[in-house]
Amino acid sequence: MHWFILKRLLVFPILIFVFSIIAFVLIQAPPGDYLTSYIAELAQGGTTIGQEEIDALRRQFGLDRPLYVQYGIWVSNLLQGDLGYSFEWRRSNAELIGERLMLTLALTTLSLLFTWAVAIPIGIVSATRQYSVVDYVFTVLNYIGLATPNFLLALVLMWLAFDNLGISVTGLFSPEFQNAPWSWARFGDMMSKIWLPMIVLGTAGTAQIARVVRANLLDELGKPYTEMARAKGLPEWRLVLKYPTRVAIAPVVSTLGWYFPQLLSGGLVVAVVMSLPTIGPLLLRALIGQDMYLAGTIILIYSVLTLIGTLVSDILLALLDPRIRMDGA
Amino acid sequence: MAVPETAAPARAERTDNVYVAPAWKMTWWRFRKHKLAVFSLWIVGLIALISLVPHFFATTDPHATSARRAYIPVQPVRFVHEGRPALPFVYGVVGERNQRTLRMEWVVDEELRRPLRLFARGHEYRLLGLIPSDLHLIGFANLAEGEPTPALLGTDRLGRDQWSRLMIGTQISMSIGLVAVALSTLLGILLGGISGYFGGLTDNVIQRVIELLQALPPIPVWLALSAALPRTWPVTLVYFAITVILALLGWTRLAREVRGRFLSLREEDFVTAARLVGASRARIIFSHMVPSFASHIIAAVTLAIPLMILNETFLSFLGLGMRPPAISWGVMLQEAQNLQSVVNAPWLLLPGVFVIITVLALNILGDGLRDAADPYSN
């Protein structure tokens, strides 16, 4: 067991190293650099900028050096905990990403909890009442849930909320709390707004997870120990919740590995539509403006979070299922 | 005496059929029992037909803009006029500028009846890009000289006809999904096949690459790649770049599936038998192994198409996929990017309904195929 975890941990730095190269290549892929898009933007506003000034800026940003040097500087700074500097915002990346990262993680975690809270009961009900009306209704809803892009759901819910309640639910904070320091009032304000993005993001995976729970529980319900408990006269609902459900929802924990990253990157589009102060819109802007160190750092953060998710779920799965442990060792 | 004699051979024939029927035939028999999947097959067929000849289904030129016809609401087809049933028709609309908000407001004018006509003449186009034609599935009669055709599904910010744009958009959205999946299928089968057949070091390297690609967060990577496409590229080039980008991360799942099949089939008796009679490697792969997992591949591919369609939609929605003047469902949804435009013109969300129907039909079809793919399980 320890050996298994150790092995996974040893691969971890190698993967992060590979990902840092991929992230760097990705942000270098567009033709030109930040200055070309900056100059284009200035030109659109009617301002022109002299060649000397451009050269000076290029030197100041270190864009005149060869690529591998730029990569080296970026990575060695990252290793020292320095996330770099955003050309566009003229601020340090750590400052820009910090709060947004926290909000992103908070929102993603809440959505995950929401998904479980909805999907597990649905799965249990569908399995215990297999082929009933309820089961069919949930199956249909599952299919529709899989087919709906979540930004569309966001738009429709925002529209309904506006039409019926007259409120415009965009962002996570009311204007007066936008730039305020953290306080209970600000936290309360956020909580009053976070439910809509939470529902939008959470419903995305509900369909899949409910399906997993349903299938697992159906397998468990036919087993002898369930029959045994039934024969002993345990009330049906208590029986179901007490024994087979516990076994059936265990694999759901392992969905953390693929579902958490999926939520994280799926939230990106929703965040743009609902103008949430999360990482997504920041990445989009940085990519379009070729603000390369900001974009690269964010992509790397996404990758690392994805890796951590996979690692955590592998470990959890190994704890739950000895067969996998043997396989991995 | 004659009756049992004719009945018995018939039954025997049918049972014999099951034993000698090729795998694809048995798959089809099983698939046919799944009513919803068969229905989805019809829907998918219809969508495929639309994407083949979109202009035939359009009512007017999808690129034609008209500033004076912005934000016309949906003009439903009606069957009742003044309380009496009538042949299908559409009421005309008259625009009035609201003096307070200065917005155009469209009022239905029951005096103006525009009956629907099938196979009407309309704007000219090239059928399949070759044959010039002006035939359209539906058109309208009683139009005044120079009057624009009624907008069945409303118009957008630039007064473009949504129905016609949706029909044309179907072509790009569907074909991007298909081409991207075809590319990733090719990659997946090739690399998965190599990995599963040869095993050893090759297998190890390919598997590590797949794991690496699967560990990458797909959406940020797609965004970064498509943000890298130069703004100056023409539509066709962007189209191919987007399909390649989508396929790049999409092939891994299929490769794994193919590899798994190869690994299990390699040990099967019929493969050993083929090897023993001296069949060549290519013959073993293509005429013995591939047919026995082809149905699984088809099912997996059908399930991959809707994912690609959704991905194209959101990339275009964010302005990083297809760009105007190209028309795809995602490009159309760009018009509905914020709350304000949705509140003012909810019909701008209609392309989303098309996305949902298409993806739904493809998913159900794929599930039906997957269930039918194993004809020997019964």
For the stretch A201-220, pLDDT in tens is: 888 778 888 888 888 888 88
Mean pLDDT over the full length of chain B: 81
- The whole-angstrom distance between B336's CA and the closest CA on chain A is 8
B138: which strand partners? B118
Residue B150 vs residue A198, higher pLDDT? A198
How many CB atoms lie under 10 A from the CB of residue B359?
Answer: 23
- Residue B237, chain A, CB below 8 Å: the answer is no
Residue pair B144/B162 in contact by the 8 Å Cβ criterion: no
The end-to-end CA distance of chain B, in Å, is 34
Q: Which of B157, B140, B191 is nearest to B71 (CA)?
A: B157
C-alpha to C-alpha distance for B16 and B226, rounded to whole angstroms: 55
- A162, A295, A310 member nearest B224 (Cβ): A295
Residue type, A250: A
Do A265 and B359 lie within an 8 Å CB cutoff? no
Residue pair A121/A138 in contact by the 8 Å Cβ criterion: no
Do B212 and A269 lie within an 8 Å CB cutoff? no
Radius of gyration of chain A (CA): 24
Radius of gyration of chain B (CA): 26
**In chain A, which residue's Cα lies nearest the Cα of B307?**
A147
Residue pair A156/A242 in contact by the 8 Å Cβ criterion: no
C-alpha to C-alpha distance for A51 and B203, rounded to whole angstroms: 53
> Per-residue pLDDT for B130 more than 50?
yes
- Residue A317, chain B, CB below 8 Å: the answer is no
B 312-341 residues with CB < 8 A to A: 313-314, 317-318, 333, 336-339
Q: What is the pLDDT of residue B49?
A: 92
Residue pair A92/A85 in contact by the 8 Å Cβ criterion: yes
Identify the residue among A151, A169, A258, A270 best suited for mutation to test binding to B, counting B beta carbons within 10 A and taking the highest: A151
The end-to-end CA distance of chain A, in Å, is 8
Tens digits of residue pLDDT in B38-78: 999 999 999 999 998 888 888 888 888 887 788 888 888 88
Q: Rounded to two decimals, what is the model's pTM?
A: 0.83
Residues of B in contact with A268 (CB under 8 A): 219-220, 223
- Residue B343, chain A, CB below 8 Å: the answer is yes
Residues of B in contact with A288 (CB under 8 A): 227
Looking at this predicted complex, what is its ipTM? 0.80
Q: Which residue reads 């992060």 in tokens? A: A16
Residues of B in contact with A146 (CB under 8 A): 359-360, 363
Tens digits of residue pLDDT in B140-150: 877 776 677 88
- Residue A164, chain B, CB below 8 Å: the answer is no
Tens digits of residue pLDDT in A271-288: 888 888 888 888 888 888
- Residue A148, chain B, CB below 8 Å: the answer is yes
Do A287 and B224 lie within an 8 Å CB cutoff? yes
Q: What is the pLDDT of residue B324?
A: 81
Most confident of A20-34, A71-85, A297-311, B40-54: B40-54
C-alpha to C-alpha distance for B55 and B168, rounded to whole angstroms: 7
Identify the residue among A143, A155, A282 best suited for mutation to test binding to B, counting B beta carbons within 10 A and taking the highest: A155
C-alpha to C-alpha distance for B49 and B41, rounded to whole angstroms: 12
Tens digits of residue pLDDT in B179-203: 898 898 888 888 888 887 777 888 8
B 180-219 residues with CB < 8 A to A: 212, 215-219
Q: What 3-state class would DSSP assign to A4?
A: helix
